[in-house]
Structure 1
């Protein structure tokens, strides 16, 4: 059977919101579920993907995406194993290599990876440059990443608008540093941006500690709040609408290719992962307390705190991990008397003023 993978652009115009961390951890979480995943670093000018991982790659001399986009080598030569089932395609750090890159070659690179992997995560740079635009045009869907800060929400809205303009679906929002400052619930921010909520990741010291050790937090601290959140987001990402499924042991046939820069074809992907969807949809309710539309909410069953790695997402004495993200039993939509996330209002106010008024900052 032909296996057609999903290509996601992990995007958010604001820098420092966690796009690379999210790309790596979603990739590692999916690989732990049996998927073959590639993370592609599209920040061609300010590459740092390998700094997050303990991999033996010196990007100043190794073959990188710079060389691929410079028509000097094939993408396979710039692909390196990171963790089991997860490969990375890093960019280089040399300015001369950056100057030789040509994004017109990116469609062929993406289609090659689409044939070889169950899921491809394109880690895009900050801003709204061509290095963000091209991946969003080529992707099947966009994963929007933002923190709860006003400036980040503004830039996330810009990114969502760009996705609309290039006619690429926004799969949903990943809210990082959730619960910090005076921010409202993650579901209200997603509602304000008019996108689905894939999940929210708490501000967790386990993340920088994992980065310092060169490991995804889902592997370094699998029972931490951030790791639990990323595993649930990964399952939700591929659960409801994905066409990706773990590859069989036998080599699949050639995958269908399409020119993502030309006319988009809806229906060009095979429906998959129905079994996985049924297993996780009823336990992966979003922070607002709702469940995936395909599964009715469960009102009497206690929340399932078993992670995708088979571990129980509780602290050793059996109490719930108080730092967990995506707590099924604790909606964070805010009090009933809080204002709703209405984007409309006084046109004379700035975007930041509107956000603060809506969320009561």
Structure 2
């Protein structure tokens, strides 16, 4: 073997060792190694150079910088003389395609639901959508509450949707999100005195007649309960996954369990639970108190073998920001509250990526009938 052949073999062995070291890095967002998530796209090292390409199936946000640092540390652990070039890219999975015919312009539909009202589902939906967008995803928000649409007021938008053609309309842009709500089409004080079939028909029109443009995620803010709208969305729309919002007290977690049971019955993956109003911090003295109890979200997540994506505080600023039409993540993107939403959103997106990979690896179920 010539000199060049020996160098090539040595480089190949070093590259393989570096790849194993990089693949062993643990990702806290999906609780997997990079090998388990298949995130290491390419590793190539020559005599004095090294290239490592990582492709994540969720938007990394500020985790990208830390991940890059960890990759460089892993490479240095094998060969300290190398200064690797590291790229981290995001490519959203296409989860909705696994659950039926995908909605044009949308890769993943995520339903944010609760078993009862008053748990902060709409505020959570908006801020999760904004958090995903802040981390680098293209995001839409659909207000599926026909009787009580609240998203236009919370987003500070009164714009009417622009008609694209006879059958479709453009989503309303608000804080970088593509949004749609029946609230854009009717007077804010008008009561929607409609029976169930009219409500479900209106929802399907809003969903299908909106010209969504290249969305990685469409967050659907569901109305409370487990009725017509929830069943219509779960059965007729390719929902990639669902998130359950609850408050810690027993009466709320009891209804949240019903929502989980409904999604399980219609084979919609549960991506996790978000516990809202988990703690209250006194604005005067800073005392932290769990006024609605403790452990409700964690108990549900454990019972149904899913993730507790985050625990959000009961904070006056969240309500004030929404009343003013400037949601917290948009108003103060670098603040502590926004950071809590972004961490929960990142875990949500990473959980969706993990669920999609699991479904793809499982393959279709084959049933033989005699």
Report the TM range for the smaller structure's normalisation.
0.5 to 0.7
- Partner SS, residue 116 of structure 1: coil
In structure 2, distance between residues paired with 1:107 and 1:196: 32
Aligned-pair distance for 1:36?
Answer: 1.4
Per-residue CA deviation, residues 290-322 of structure 1 (Å, 9 max, x unaligned), is xxxxxxxxxxxxxxxxxxxxxxxxxxxxxxxxx
1:230 aligned partner: 341
Matched, 1:198 2:309: yes
Matches within 5 A, 1:8-47: 8-47=110-149
In structure 1, distance between residues paired with 2:348 and 2:120: 17
Per-residue CA deviation, residues 132-180 of structure 1 (Å, 9 max, x unaligned), is 2222332111110001121110110000000111111100001100133
Matched, 1:146 2:246: yes
CA contact (8 A) 1:210 1:221 kept: no
1:136 aligned partner: 234
Which protein is bigger by CA-based radius of gyration? 2
CA contact (8 A) 2:180 2:206 kept: no
1:76 aligned partner: 169
CA contact (8 A) 1:122 1:135 kept: no
In structure 2, distance between residues paired with 1:201 and 1:242: 23
Q: Is there any run of 5+ residues in structure 1 with no aligned partner, and where?
A: 245-264, 269-361
Instruction: Indicate how the Cα distance of structure 1 residues 74 and 231 shifts in structure 2: closer, same or farther if over 3 A, else same.
Output: farther
Aligned-pair distance for 1:221?
Answer: 2.9
In structure 1, distance between residues paired with 2:276 and 2:298: 13
More helix per residue: 1 or 2? 2
CA contact (8 A) 1:113 1:120 kept: no
Matched, 1:50 2:152: yes
Query: Given the alignment, which residue of 166, 183, 194 partners 2:266?
Result: 166
Aligned-pair distance for 1:6?
Answer: 1.3
Per-residue CA deviation, residues 310-335 of structure 1 (Å, 9 max, x unaligned), is xxxxxxxxxxxxxxxxxxxxxxxxxx
What is the number of equivalent residue pairs in this alignment?
Answer: 238
Query: Given the alignment, which residue of 102, 119, 127 partners 2:225?
Result: 127
Query: Given the alignment, which residue of 70, 86, 90 partners 2:181?
Result: 90
- Partner SS, residue 25 of structure 1: helix
In structure 1, distance between residues paired with 2:325 and 2:154: 5
In structure 1, distance between residues paired with 2:255 and 2:360: 31
Question: Greater RCO between the two (CA within 8 Å, min separation 6)?
Answer: 1
Aligned-pair distance for 1:17?
Answer: 0.8
Aligned-pair distance for 1:95?
Answer: 4.8
Matched, 1:267 2:363: no
Indicate the RMSD between aligned Cα atoms, in angstroms: 3.5
CA contact (8 A) 1:203 1:226 kept: no
- Partner SS, residue 8 of structure 1: strand
- Partner SS, residue 145 of structure 1: strand
Q: Is there any run of 5+ residues in structure 2 with no aligned partner, and where?
A: 1-90, 95-106, 280-289, 362-370
CA contact (8 A) 1:124 1:135 kept: no
Instruction: Indicate how the Cα distance of structure 1 residues 243 and 194 shifts in structure 2: closer, same or farther if over 3 A, else same.
Output: closer
- Partner SS, residue 143 of structure 1: strand
1:221 aligned partner: 332
Instruction: Indicate how the Cα distance of structure 1 residues 3 and 223 shifts in structure 2: closer, same or farther if over 3 A, else same.
Output: closer
CA contact (8 A) 1:7 1:114 kept: no
2:291 aligned partner: 181
Per-residue CA deviation, residues 96-130 of structure 1 (Å, 9 max, x unaligned), is 69565553972993597677311001111011111
Aligned-pair distance for 1:29?
Answer: 0.9
**TM-score by structure 1 length?**
0.58
Aligned-pair distance for 1:219?
Answer: 2.0
CA contact (8 A) 1:13 1:125 kept: no
**TM-score by structure 2 length?**
0.56
Instruction: Indicate how the Cα distance of structure 1 residues 231 and 75 shifts in structure 2: closer, same or farther if over 3 A, else same.
Output: farther
CA contact (8 A) 1:81 1:87 kept: yes
